[in-house]
Amino acid sequence: MTGRACGKVILLGEHAVVYGVPALAVGIDRGVEATAERLTDDGASVLCLEGSGEVLVTDDSDLARAFHEVLSASDVSAPMRVTVHAELPPGAGLGCSAAIGVAIGRALGEALGQPASLEQSVARAMAWERVFHGNPSGVDAAVSAQGGCIRFVRGEPPQPLRLATKLELAIGHTGQSSSTKTMVEGVARLRARRPAVFQKSLDGIRSLVTNAQLALDAGDLKGLGQLMDLNQMLLSGMFLSTPEIEALCASAREEGALGAKLTGAGGGGCVVALCAGNADAVVARWQREGFSGFVTIVHPAEGRT
Ligand code: PMV
């Protein structure tokens, strides 16, 4: 009675996606696994999240509320025991929260003999996400449920993209976690204070995403890397970068990465560097500098046509 979901990397378009700009995202092989079983007694449902101990659905905490929401969205009234194992760091921009929501929703479906459809998995993850993030665009839940490479526009079904060539990605962690809710609220304040300047950034990101989709389609990794670098500049202009993010991006570029940027909410968390045969060298460099990182490959077969 197990459910799995993948983590994700946003190649381009985070934050702007909250305001209707498309984002490009890929599922990664690290993810979340959840198991669900029916409790034989009539007690409250229990969530066992590695690192956070046991939470009863009746507890007064965000975790308990999120658990309640995902149980309701899955039409589960019987008491359940759900155990979650995450291979993703939380608060790091790799979609840990949405992946937990998808994995729990899937495990509940399996336990009840009604496997969740793709749409149901996304809806269950969104119910979970809303408790923590307030105003999620839905990109994390969509890519976590679907995997592969997607173009996502808020409120629309995700569009699977065909990859012309594999993507070799190095993912580096600043060592700092950040709250997506806080970062999204900070961007909303910036938008309220300087609407015209903010709109220019959104327009800029929209055109980068359009060109990145063309680059992906053509297998133009050099072009894609340059567009990621430009996206990073616009994200820094929105006060989402940090000295550690800039250091990780600079080291990756020095090691020959084609492009590097923060991924996800920023303010800490992870960076993604697009590589061409040198992802191991990029990660080794980060490790020498005291950061952690790993390599992930997105294969063309995973991007559906
Ligand atoms: O929660 P994260 O760090 O994976 O970021 C989610 C992406 C944002 O665009 C920042 C927020 C959203 O809801 O799309």
H-assigned helices in the chain = 62-73, 96-111, 118-133, 139-146, 180-193, 195-218, 221-237, 243-254, 279-288
Task: Give the mean pLDDT of the chain.
Answer: 95
pLDDT in tens, 181-202: 999 999 999 999 999 999 999 9
The mean pLDDT of 62-90, rounded to a whole number, is 95
171 token code pair: 């993912």
What's the pTM value of the predicted model, to 2 decimals?
0.94
Q: Which atom of ligand 1 is found nearest the CA of 183?
A: 10
304 pLDDT above the threshold of 50: no
Give nearest CA residue, ligand 1 atom 10.
265
Classify residue 77 by its DSSP letter: -
Whether residue 302 is predicted with pLDDT greater than 70 in this model: the reply is no
Ligand 1 closest atom vs CA 263: 3
Average pLDDT over residues 123-142: 93
pLDDT band at 303 (very low <50, low <70, confident <90, very high): very low
Position 90 confidence tier, pLDDT thresholds 50, 70, 90:
confident
Q: Give pLDDT, residue 134.
A: 75
Coil, strand or helix at 102 = helix
Identify the active-site residue in 29, 41, 60, 140.
140
Are 26 and 149 spatial neighbours (Cβ–Cβ below 8 Å)?
Answer: yes
Q: Ligand 1 within 6 A of 63 CB?
A: no
Does 207 have pLDDT greater than 70?
yes
Q: What pLDDT, in 10s, does the model give residues 225-277?
A: 999 999 999 999 999 999 999 999 999 999 999 999 999 999 999 999 999 99
d(CA 59, ligand 1 centre) in Å = 27
Is 140 marked active-site?
A: yes
What CA–CA distance (Å, rounded) separates 246 from 191? 23
C-alpha R_g of the chain: 19
Cα separation values, 296 from 17, 31, 58, 73, 272, Å: 24, 12, 38, 32, 10
